[in-house]
Amino acid sequence: MNILIVEDEFSLADAVSAALKKEGFSSTIKTDGEEGEYGALTGSYDLILLDVMLPKKDGFEILHSIKEEKIKTPVIMLTAKSAMTDKLAGLENGADDYITKPFSIRELLARVKIVLKRNNNIEDTASLSFGDITLDTKTAKLTCGENEVKISGKEMNLLEYLLINQNQISARETLAERIWGFDSEAEYNNVEVYVTFLRRKLGLIGSNVKIKAVRGLGYRLES
Ligand code: CA
């Protein structure tokens, strides 16, 4: 499993590379847009982590070239926190996922695994755990001990996000944008509705895990 990292911040690229190595993935770092594009178009990679702001050529130009050359390698864009339009542009132009800076290495690794799995490049099941629950994103089953319940669609996306970001508060705005694509009042209501659905399912399987609303901020898992 070889991952191409196109990132001009050396320390970040190195940290990502080291974390991937611990998980058994090898990686190659390219620190400018031209080299990154060359690598993406000519190399044999299982995944490309692509920064947007790069010297010589930006991430969107590279993404465009990748798609134009019909290269099937999945791409995760690394975008700046405030650049909402960047995220949408990335997804519309064929990126498989995006992650906003600053990100935790834990979230990055989880996203890498999910994208690889979605592209069938990885064998084991995509399971995420917290407290007494385990979500298998491949079979769409949420289990607690002997009990299990089917979970799919937006519920799955929401719980997956909360599990990946289990050590922090997930802002309502981020959830709305990540799951429904837009950050608006209507989508905030959706988040609340789906949190209610998930709480019901957690109760159904007898889990101690709670989705706690942190007033004014968002949600966090508690056990
Ligand atoms: Ca950059």
Last residue of a domain, one of 59, 87, 120: 120
Coil, strand or helix at 110: helix
Please give the residue range of the domain that contains residue 104.
Answer: 2-120
**Tokens representing 40?**
């993406």
16 and 107 in one domain? Answer: yes
Using the mean position of ligand 1's atoms as its centre, give its distance from the Cα of residue 54 in Å. 5
Please tell me the distance between residue 122's alpha carbon and the centre of ligand 1 in angstroms: 28
Cα(209) to centroid of ligand 1, in Å?
A: 38
Domain boundary among 71, 104, 120: 120
CA of 114 to the centre of ligand 1 (A): 24
Q: Residue 1's pLDDT is what?
A: 84
Dist. CA 113 → ligand 1 center (Å): 23
Say if residue 113 is in the same domain as residue 135: no
- Which of 100, 120, 140 corresponds to the end of one domain? 120
Tell me the per-residue pLDDT of 100-115, one tens digit each, with 9 for 90 and over: 888 889 889 999 988 8
Domain count, the chain: 2
Residues 28 and 77 in one domain: yes
Query: Going residue by residue through the chain (223 aa), what tens digit of pLDDT does each one get?
Result: 889 999 999 999 999 999 999 988 999 999 999 999 999 998 888 899 999 999 999 999 999 999 888 888 999 999 875 666 766 676 777 888 888 888 889 889 999 988 888 776 554 447 889 999 999 988 889 999 999 999 988 899 899 889 988 877 888 888 887 787 766 777 778 899 999 999 999 999 999 999 999 887 899 999 9
CA 16 – ligand 1 centroid, Å: 14
Q: For residue 81, how far is its CA from the centre of ligand 1 (angstroms)?
A: 12
- Measuring CA to CA, how many Å separate 169 from each of 18, 106, 165? 26, 15, 7
CATH number, domain containing residue 102: 3.40.50.2300
On the 0-12 / 13-18 / 19+ scale of CB atoms within 10 A, 11 is: exposed
pLDDT number for residue 83: 63
Q: 113 and 14 in one domain?
A: yes
Question: How many CA atoms lie within 13 Å of 32's alpha carbon, on the beta-carbon side?
Answer: 4
Handedness of CA 116, 131, 170, 138 (dihedral sign): positive
Measured in angstroms, how far is the CA atom of residue 8 from the centroid of ligand 1? 5
Judgement on whether residues 13 and 72 belong to the same structural domain of the protein: yes
Contact 118, 31 (CB under 8 A): no
Please give the angle made by the CA atoms of 13, 167 and 5, to the nearest 5 degrees.
Answer: 15
Nearest CA among 203, 195, 120 for reference residue 157: 195
Amino acid at 127: S
Query: Are 81 and 182 contained in the same domain?
Result: no
| CA 49 – ligand 1 centroid, Å | 12
CATH number for the domain that contains residue 190: 1.10.10.10
